[in-house]
């Protein structure tokens, strides 16, 4: 790490995550990325997506690199697919059990990271309950270390959004012809925020957010989405329906009358799905709560791509990790070149000074 005592303002994550040439070096948020970068992630994932069916499920892109998974919140899909992705890229993978780590004895997050960095780690995949934690870490680590955000607070879940974009592109094609509805607990959802950003950057025709007023912050209008409180209106003629989990663990007070009432009004049933286009696809980032936000007949039905999303998650995470390592390598080469140039520049300046005396 360059410093662990720096308490000054942390710069914008949109700049921290890119090299001077606009390549990914960390992956912290969708905000501020270009359509070209998002399409590069999707295209790179395309080259990995069938790897699960091959007899040798490995490529050497991260051979010799060490990836550390640090999950301070529970996870099934994200953690497992990041681990598989790193293994398929031939990296050495360390999954730190946070409950048994020294953070449980009071060590700070930065001290834990500094120690792992001293062991030669090249990449940290981090999930944390505090919004912005990964961005702070990215602003502190050495130039050759990459930070990948696996979900921070209510802020961002960029790899989830990208695997969702991959699912939509693969099954529905051109974003510019698509109306997409995101339904449920928008207020607490880092996934929804990242999805709205990605859909807008990729040029979706319309992005709609549907939920009860208590879970639908007006501020999201500023991100470029239409807000709806009735499923009949919000689902009308949409091509894609993305359901979200009710995040009860993040609810401070009584935001809903009851789960039963929420399901009656916003649960995706076969009946409500009829408001959407007949060929609409149904997605959910998981974990799903059957009978709370989605009916089993829909979750397991012919329009559901919920398990496809999980499979595509491996390819998307392979894409992001390989692009970040490539960005780091490029940046390190640039730094080395600049450092090699410095003594030469100093020597030239000294010679000029002596000549002019």
- Site residues, ligand CP (CB under 6 A): 75-79, 151, 160, 285-287
The H-assigned helical ranges of the chain are 13-16, 35-48, 77-88, 109-118, 133-138, 158-172, 190-201, 231-234, 259-266, 270-273, 296-299, 306-356
Distance CA 273, CA 271 (A): 6
Distance CA 268, CA 298 (A): 7
Cβ count near 59 (within 10 Å): 16
Q: How far is the CB of 172 from ligand CP (least distance, A)?
A: 20
Nearest residue to ligand CP, by Cβ distance, number only: 78
**Residue carrying the six token digits 């991959």:** 166
Q: How far is the CB of 170 from ligand CP (least distance, A)?
A: 18
Q: How far is the CB of 74 from ligand CP (least distance, A)?
A: 6
Q: How far is the CB of 160 from ligand CP (least distance, A)?
A: 5
For ligand CP, the closer of residues 18 and 156 by Cβ is: 156
Q: How far is the CB of 27 from ligand CP (least distance, A)?
A: 15
Q: How far is the CB of 290 from ligand CP (least distance, A)?
A: 16
Name the token pair of 40: 């590069």
What DSSP string describes 240-295?
A: EEEE----GGG--S--SS-HHHHHHHHSB-HHHHTTS-TT-EEE--S---BTTTB-
Burial 74-95 (b: 16+ CB within 10 A, else e): ebeebbebbbbbbbbbebbbbb
For ligand CP, the closer of residues 25 and 79 by Cβ is: 79
What crossing angle do the helices spanning 35-48 and 158-172 adopt, rounded to 10°?
70
For ligand CP, the closer of residues 18 and 191 by Cβ is: 191
Distance CA 275, CA 236 (A): 5
For ligand CP, the closer of residues 212 and 285 by Cβ is: 285
Is the Cα dihedral 71, 67, 44, 201 positive or negative?
positive
Distance CA 33, CA 15 (A): 9
Q: How far is the CB of 298 from ligand CP (least distance, A)?
A: 18
For ligand CP, the closer of residues 23 and 245 by Cβ is: 245
For ligand CP, the closer of residues 80 and 229 by Cβ is: 80
Q: How far is the CB of 310 from ligand CP (least distance, A)?
A: 8
For ligand CP, the closer of residues 17 and 159 by Cβ is: 159
For ligand CP, the closer of residues 23 and 284 by Cβ is: 284
């Amino acid at each position: 790490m360059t410093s662990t005592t720096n308490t000054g303002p942390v710069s914008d994550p949109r700049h921290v995550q890119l090299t001077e040439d606009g390549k990914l070096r960390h992956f912290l948020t969708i905000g501020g990325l270009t359509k070209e970068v998002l399409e590069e992630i999707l295209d790179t994932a395309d080259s990995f997506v069938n790897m699960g069916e091959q007899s040798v499920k490995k490529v050497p892109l991260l051979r010799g690199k060490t990836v550390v998974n640090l999950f301070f919140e529970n996870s099934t899909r994200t953690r497992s697919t990041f681990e598989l992705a790193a293994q398929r890229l031939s990296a050495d993978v360390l999954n730190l059990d946070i409950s048994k780590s020294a953070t449980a004895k009071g060590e700070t997050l930065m001290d834990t990271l500094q120690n792992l960095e001293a062991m030669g780690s090249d990449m940290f995949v981090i999930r944390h309950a505090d919004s912005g934690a990964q961005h702070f870490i990215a602003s502190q680590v050495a130039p050759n270390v990459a930070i990948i955000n696996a979900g921070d607070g209510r802020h961002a879940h960029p790899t989830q959004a990208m695997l969702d974009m991959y699912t939509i592109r693969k099954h529905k094609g051109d974003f510019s012809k698509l109306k997409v509805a995101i339904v449920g607990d928008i207020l607490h959802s880092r996934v929804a925020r990242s999805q709205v950003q990605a859909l807008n950057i990729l040029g979706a025709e319309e992005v709609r957010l549907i939920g009860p007023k208590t879970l639908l912050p007006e501020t999201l209008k500023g991100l470029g989405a239409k807000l709806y409180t009735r499923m009949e209106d919000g689902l009308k003629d949409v091509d894609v329906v993305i359901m979200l989990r009710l995040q009860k663990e993040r609810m401070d007070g009584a935001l809903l009358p009851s789960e039963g009432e929420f399901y009656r009004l916003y649960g995706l049933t076969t009946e409500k799905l009829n408001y959407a286009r007949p060929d609409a696809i149904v997605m959910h980032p998981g974990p799903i709560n059957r009978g709370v936000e989605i009916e089993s007949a829909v979750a397991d039905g012919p329009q559901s791509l919920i398990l496809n999303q999980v499979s595509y998650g491996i390819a998307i995470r392979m894409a992001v990790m390989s692009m970040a390592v490539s960005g780091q390598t490029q940046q390190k080469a640039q730094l080395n070149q600049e450092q090699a140039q410095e003594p030469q520049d100093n020597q030239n300046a000294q010679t000029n000074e002596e000549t002019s005396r």
